[in-house]
Amino acid sequence: MLSRVRPGEVRDHLPQSAPERGESYETIFADFERVILPGITHWNHPGFFAYFAISGSEPGVLAEFLSAALNVQAMLWRTSPAATELEDVTLSWLRQLLGLPDAFEGVIYDTASVSTLHALAAAREIAVPEVRGAGLAGLPRLRVYCSEHAHSSVDKAVILLGLGHDGLRRIPADRDFAMRPDALEDAIAADRAAGMLPIAVVATIGTTSSTSVDPVDAIAPISAAEQLWLHVDAAYAGVAAMVPGCEWILRGADRADSIVVNPHKWLFTPFDLSVLYCRRMEAIRQAFSLTPEYLRTSEGEAGVRNLMDTGIQLGRRFRALKLWMVLRHFGAEGLRARLTEHMRLARVLAGWIDESDRFERVAPVPLSVVCFRLRGDASDEEHQRILDRVNASGEVFLSHTKLDGRFVLRVAIGNLHTTEEHVARAWALLNDAARV
Ligand SMILES: *Cc1c(COP(=O)(O)O)cnc(C)c1O
């Protein structure tokens, strides 16, 4: 399922220029099968356990067809009222499923990276509104805080927002890889004493390596007392809050200024669709809205929402359609059942690992990702060999990470069609590979 093409292979099979004369669908499709498909890694395969396993679903694929067929561009309410209003309705449905308060207004972006960028742009707008007009020159150095395990999208956001990469301070984590609130307080105090201007904290619910959960209920009062924007990155894990018994996952997040959740990760929505919930959407509008004459509309004055005002893009794809169709097709009950099953499968695998004398688990399993390595002090190379052997089978695909500086194997469960048999097969392949 991991594509086996060599670098350049797909390109080498294709002509260097576009055809002068149009070609038949038959010829084009034959090349799709011959050249393109071998170069595809099958994210929709039930044995896909790498990164965060994601899966598209029928209703989502169908919605993408419809949205492309209609070629919707929803920059203004009037350029497709249904796209704007369906986004409101669908994000309100999802917000209720996650148990978040009404005060959160939602907006759809392509990815969590872009959602986080907008959240931090809003944080900057609130802290130093003069930046929009005059830029950052002459201001104290701005600071953003996140845990040492936070996603690299936070780094990219501070770089892009002109804070400089040094403007991001990574806070040490505890044994379970969660941000230490005491260390956060110390860092903020030290920065203030050094004349810097703290503007935001990013807490992660479900970090990318180990799905550790930062203690947002302890971090929220600190950001409130310091008047810092609190952004919660729950890109993968946030949707778990809809499962009874998992509401704790968003504990404290209701006090955040913004939260990102990715339906394209663990909610069966074809890539891409990320949702930013924000309590202060006016800050995002303040940071981004700018209306040239040709985009002025009479409805604009009448208070309708124009999606071009809530972000850097002018044009907007009609992404809400696929989330709407996914929510309707599965229903809340169907979604909960599938998430519950993925978490059960992760616990089953964790149980096998805990009983094994070959492997050991290296992180708690709060959700659907299991991190483990060989017992003893096997080298990175040995782990890499196991991973390569398992992936060469073509039956499953696993990826790795590093925790405490050590190579860690990782199984992420999130595909609609993954069953216990697929997980058992991955476990058998791992044991075979480790035995050689
Ligand atoms: C996957 C992930 C991201 C980035 O997601 P994109 O939508 O690909 O930008 C950010 N944060 C966390 C915690 C993630 O798991």
What domain range includes position 171? Answer: 61-325
pLDDT one-digit tens code per residue, 160-202? 999 999 999 999 999 999 999 999 999 999 999 999 999 999 9
Residue 79, both tokens? 């350029």
**Cα separations in angstroms, 212 against 115, 171, 178:** 20, 14, 6
231 within domain boundaries: yes
Determine the distance separating the centroid of ligand 1 and the alpha carbon of 212, expressed in angstroms: 14
DSSP state of 130: T
240 within domain boundaries: yes
Q: Which of 115, 265, 399 to probe ligand 1 with, by most ligand atoms within 8 A of CB?
A: 265
Regarding the beta carbon of 90 and ligand 1, being less than 6 Å apart is answered no
73 within domain boundaries: yes
145 within domain boundaries: yes
Taking the CA of residue 153 as reference, the ligand 1 atom at the shortest distance is 10
349 within domain boundaries: no
Regarding the beta carbon of 208 and ligand 1, being less than 6 Å apart is answered yes
368 within domain boundaries: no
Q: What is the pLDDT along the chain (436 residues), one digit of tens a residue?
A: 889 999 999 999 999 999 999 999 999 999 999 999 999 999 999 999 999 988 899 999 999 999 999 999 999 999 999 999 999 999 999 999 999 999 999 999 999 999 999 999 999 999 999 999 999 999 999 999 999 999 999 999 999 999 999 999 999 999 999 999 999 999 999 999 999 999 999 999 999 999 999 999 999 999 999 999 999 999 999 999 999 999 999 999 999 999 999 999 999 999 999 999 999 999 999 998 887 777 777 776 677 899 999 999 999 999 999 999 999 999 999 999 999 999 999 999 999 999 999 999 999 999 999 999 999 999 999 999 999 999 999 999 999 999 999 999 999 999 999 999 999 999 999 999 999 7
When divided into structural domains, the chain yields a total of: 1
Residue nearest to atom 3 of ligand 1 (CA): 112
Domain CATH for 237: 3.40.640.10
Q: Which helix (H) or strand (E) holds 366?
A: none
383 within domain boundaries: no
Determine the distance separating the centroid of ligand 1 and the alpha carbon of 166, expressed in angstroms: 21
Please give the pLDDT value at position 65: 97
Please give the pLDDT value at position 300: 64
pLDDT one-digit tens code per residue, 369-411? 999 999 999 999 999 999 999 999 999 999 999 999 999 999 9
Please give the pLDDT value at position 303: 77
pLDDT one-digit tens code per residue, 317-350? 999 999 999 999 999 999 999 999 999 999 999 9
Determine the distance separating the centroid of ligand 1 and the alpha carbon of 202, expressed in angstroms: 13
CB-based burial, 260-289: b 16+ in 10 Å, e otherwise: bbbbbbbbbbbbbbbbbbbbbbebbbbbbe
Q: Give SS3 for 261.
A: strand
Please give the pLDDT value at position 253: 96
313 within domain boundaries: yes
**Cα separations in angstroms, 435 against 354, 371, 428:** 18, 19, 11
Regarding the beta carbon of 113 and ligand 1, being less than 6 Å apart is answered yes
What residue type is assigned to position 16 of the chain?
Q
Taking the CA of residue 262 as reference, the ligand 1 atom at the shortest distance is 7
Regarding the beta carbon of 147 and ligand 1, being less than 6 Å apart is answered no
